Amino acid sequence: MGRSPCCDQDKGVKKGPWVPEEDDKLTAYIEKNGYGNWRSLPKLAGLNRCGKSCRLRWMNYLRPDIRRGEFSDEEESTIVRLHALLGNKWSKIASHLPGRTDNEIKNYWNTHMRKKMLQMGIDPITHEPRTNDLSPILDVSQILAAAIGNGQFGSSNLINNNIALEDLLKLQLIHKMLQIITPKAIPNITSSTNSLNPKLDSVVNSFTTNSVNPKPEQAAIQLNANEPHDFINQSANEDFMMPPFENIWDSFEDNQLPGLVTVSQKNLNSGTGMMPGYYGDQLSEIPSNGSISVSPETSGLNYPGTTQHLTGSDVLEDWEKFLDDETSDSCWKSFLDLTSPTSSPGPW
């Protein structure tokens, strides 16, 4: 429509907070004449304001039926109900709350109720429980990052402790998977440790990219083709630094996860233990329609014991089975024990 703003032709009109004299003038005029033509009202009322500003002041502040003060519990629940129904239609919500203005409700929502809902774990937009609230899992990652950062992994303790390395890799794996599922909710972990030990890095890589899940010892032997290294029996005095968290994973291509890290003694011995949702060492993304289209032919890999999944729910079912499976039971039990706040202190 290309219309100029209402105040353009009222050059020199006052802006900003209203003073009591202005309020009095506006109130007196409207009480005597009523309101109708906001554009001409300021002149008639003797105000150096634009009509829009006068209307807003009257509607949001001076109107005699304005109700001030705290919102009652009943008003709050009405707002929540109506917001769930109408969204940010503040004027419509206000029409159900006598004496409250759209501006007041909007402000109250943005400053109080939004916060309250977030604290309750409810998404203030959808009014659904927040499914992306992964703070407990993030905490695990934070523990890991802190452990790496404060140097607890910077000693040979880790090297002499396969359990610790296993647990570390489990954490990494979970973190990476969560990043793929909800990349926005799971940020990259940045470690304060910047010096990357290429030896250990290659160990971790061979560990995690090997689809047959080698024992840590085997991985250590493969550490460097040109320079075989006794990783496990490395001297306690040798300065080993854990690679920054993200470096371990940056070596993988997008949407591609490594083969499963050894998860239990049983798996260790059998060399099995593929995670559901994997096609060999390829993880296919679950598209929005829930169906997956990766064939073993295209991936070139097909491992015994893995299922071909057609839908996202298949993958989830397999995950459930995997998590319930006694073969992985000990792995997850020890992992959960390790990360539980009530557990005895772990390797970090």
**Contact set with DNA (CB under 7 A):** 1-3, 5-7, 14-18, 36-40, 51-53, 55-57, 60-61, 88-92, 102-104, 106-108, 110-112, 115
For DNA, the closer CB: 94 or 261 = 94
Tell me, rounded to whole angstroms, the distance of Cα 42 from its chain centroid: 50
Nearer to DNA, 52 or 215 (CB): 52
Rounded least distance, CB 88 to DNA, Å: 4
- Tell me the three state secondary structure of residue 214: coil
* Strand-pair partners of 282: 279
Q: Whole-number minimum distance, CB 87 to DNA, in Å?
A: 8
What is the nearest approach in angstroms of DNA to the Cβ of residue 46?
17
| Pick 112 or 321: Cβ nearer DNA | 112
> In the chain, which ranges are continuous DSSP H helix?
20-33, 41-45, 51-57, 73-86, 90-94, 102-108, 114-119, 135-149, 156-159, 162-181, 198-209, 216-221, 245-250, 265-270, 296-299, 312-324, 326-339
CA distance 89 to 82: 9
Nearest distance in Å: CB 23, DNA: 8
For the bound state, the minimum distance from the C-beta of residue 82 to DNA, rounded and expressed in Å, comes to 11
Of 58 and 279, the one with the shorter C-beta distance to DNA is 58
Alpha-carbon distance of 126 to 261, in angstroms, equals: 38
* End-to-end CA separation in angstroms for the chain: 65
106 vs 199, beta carbon nearer DNA: 106
Q: Six-digit token pair at 240?
A: 């080993």
Q: Are 171 and 177 a contacting pair, CB within 8 Å?
A: no
What sign results for the dihedral spanned by CA atoms 185, 188, 189, 191?
negative
State the minimum distance, in angstroms, from the CB of residue 112 to DNA.
6
- Of 101 and 264, which has the nearer Cβ to DNA? 101
